[in-house]
Amino acid sequence: MARCWVFLLLPGTVSALFYINKPPMAFEEVSKLAVRQYNLESGAEFLFRKGTTYHSNPWDPKSSQIQSFSVTIQETVCKGNPEVADIDRCDFKPKGV
């Protein structure tokens, strides 16, 4: 069963979050936020969940520099509003994108 992984790089969306006057965010929080943003904007019928994440340099939550990273996501069996769905509880769709 072949599974397609979607590679997602959101440096613009995520880096914009650092310009808002908020406390520093850990890498895990930022990567979840990137997937949430994708779910909000994609218009897909099913929600996507975070797979693997990686970044080439050590993550510095206090850095004022733009930091980029990659996130792999996969389609889940869950539908609905990403604002209220608990995506971590959604199973991956067997033949999902």
- Alpha-carbon distances, residue 80 vs 53, 68, 73 (angstroms): 24, 29, 17
pLDDT of residue 21: 62
Q: Between 1 and 67, where is the model more confident?
A: 67
Helix H or strand E encompassing 39: helix 27-42
pLDDT of residue 6: 43
CA distance 14 to 30: 7
pTM, two decimals, is 0.66
- pLDDT tens for each residue of 31-86: 888 899 999 999 899 999 988 877 777 888 888 888 778 888 999 999 988 888 88
